[in-house]
Amino acid sequence: MNNKHPLYVGIDGGGTKCSAHLFNAKREVLGKGVSGSANAARNLSQTLDSILKSVHMALLDAKLSIEVIPKLNVAAGLAGATVPSVRDKLLTWQHPFAKFKVDSDLATCSYGAHGGEDGALLIIGTGSSAARLQSGVLTQFGGHGFLLGDKGSGAWLGHSAVSATLDALDGITKLSDLHNTVLSKLEVNSAADLAQKMMGATPSQFAALAPEVIKLESTDEQAAKLIQEASIYLEKLCQSTLERTKLPLVLMGGLAPFFKTKFSPALQNVVVSPKAGPEKGALFLLERTD
């Protein structure tokens, strides 16, 4: 490819996966690639490896040679990219591309969701966070990472379920179907084994338990309480993001369809469909002059 036929890559990197879309000059998708985790704050070296692998796979999907890599214009939205020390390392990365721009995954999701125009966004997946894009300024709400935030997310649901199971095994609360499901899913049968197995678990490993919590919502009181707590928090997060505005709201992430049904009619009424995905949203970074 020459300058008359440039190629662009938009990347969406999060705690679970790294997705790359290869675009032509008309912003048409030529190929797609998916690799492993790309949370830059948790594991930068893995993130860089995931970026390269997802780009390779997108080229393969488009039936293009890896020899075009030095000519690619690449933009990435990555979880953890707003951490100053991490951002500095990303910006000084000796990448193999013609150009590389990076920002948070929240930013690129917002650009894609509203086509670069003003709007609000709530992401509910492995993590959770919200954003308001207004007059070119992006403001984040919530998030703050697994240890300090991401309430209502898949990782939070899974972590809460494990914590509740430990309480039940210690006799503080009664064992329920939720607790038994956690033990069965993780193939353990004691508090000691459960604690040892999940002590160093990643957000993605905790999030893998979220579907089990959701399945038991209608039959298990503990599961229902967790879903209710998550729903209340996420609605309040949206209200804070939308305060004193009339902006449309886009919901994204694997758990978004489920939690949308839990929101009040007033909040549901401002929800709109995304104009594009985060991979295409990342291309807005290439239009910046900074």
pLDDT per position as a tens digit, 154-176: 999 999 999 999 999 999 999 99
Q: Is residue 211 part of a domain?
A: yes
Please tell me whether residues 190 and 246 are part of one structural domain: yes
How far, in Å, CA of 116 to CA of 137, rounded? Answer: 11
Please tell me whether residues 70 and 130 are part of one structural domain: no
Please tell me whether residues 168 and 70 are part of one structural domain: no
- Of the candidates 7, 91, 93, the residue with the CA atom closest to the CA atom of residue 55: 7
Token pair of 149, please?
A: 């935030």
Please tell me whether residues 146 and 77 are part of one structural domain: no
**Residue 82 banded pLDDT, cuts 50, 70, 90:** confident
Please tell me whether residues 171 and 235 are part of one structural domain: yes
3-state secondary structure the chain: CCCCCCEEEEEEECCCCEEEEEECCCCCEEEEEEECCCECCCCHHHHHHHHHHHHHHHHHHCCCCHHHHHHEEEEEEEECCCCHHHHHHHHCCCCCCCEEEEEEHHHHHHHHHCCCCCEEEEEECCCEEEEEEECCEEEEECCCCCCCCCCCCHHHHHHHHHHHHHHHHCCCCCCCHHHHHHHHHHCCCCHHHHHHHHCCCCHHHHHCCHHHHHHCCCCCHHHHHHHHHHHHHHHHHHHHHHCCCCCCEEEECCCHHHHHCCCCHHHHCCECCCCCCHHHHHHHHHHCCC
Q: Is residue 49 part of a domain?
A: yes
Q: Is residue 283 part of a domain?
A: yes
Q: Is residue 2 part of a domain?
A: no
**Residue 14 banded pLDDT, cuts 50, 70, 90:** confident
Q: Is residue 62 part of a domain?
A: yes
Please tell me whether residues 166 and 196 are part of one structural domain: yes
Q: Is residue 45 part of a domain?
A: yes
Is pLDDT above 80 for 145?
no
Average pLDDT for 246-268: 95
Is pLDDT above 60 for 23?
yes
Please tell me whether residues 133 and 260 are part of one structural domain: yes
Please tell me whether residues 61 and 186 are part of one structural domain: no
Mean pLDDT of the chain: 93
Q: Which of 30-34, 39-43, 244-248 has the lowest mean pLDDT?
A: 39-43
Q: Which domain holds residue 260?
A: 118-273
Q: What is the pLDDT of residue 58?
A: 98
CB neighbour class for 24 (10 Å; exposed up to 12, middle 13-18, buried from 19): middle
Backbone torsion region of residue 29, taken as left when φ is above 0, otherwise alpha when ψ lies between -120 and 50, otherwise beta: beta
pTM summary value: 0.84
Q: Is residue 106 part of a domain?
A: yes
Q: How many domains is the chain built from? A: 2
Please tell me whether residues 45 and 124 are part of one structural domain: no
Q: What is the CATH number of the domain that holds 231?
A: 3.30.420.40
CA dihedral 160, 164, 170, 173 (to 10 degrees): 160
According to DSSP, the β-strands at 249-252 and 18-23 are: unpaired
How far, in Å, CA of 281 to CA of 110, rounded? Answer: 7
How far, in Å, CA of 16 to CA of 33, rounded? Answer: 14
Please tell me whether residues 184 and 107 are part of one structural domain: no
**Residue 57 banded pLDDT, cuts 50, 70, 90:** very high
Please tell me whether residues 97 and 145 are part of one structural domain: no
Q: What is the pLDDT of residue 4?
A: 63
Please tell me whether residues 125 and 258 are part of one structural domain: yes
Average pLDDT for 27-39: 95
pLDDT tens, residue by residue, 98-121: 999 999 998 999 999 999 999 999
Q: Is residue 1 part of a domain?
A: no
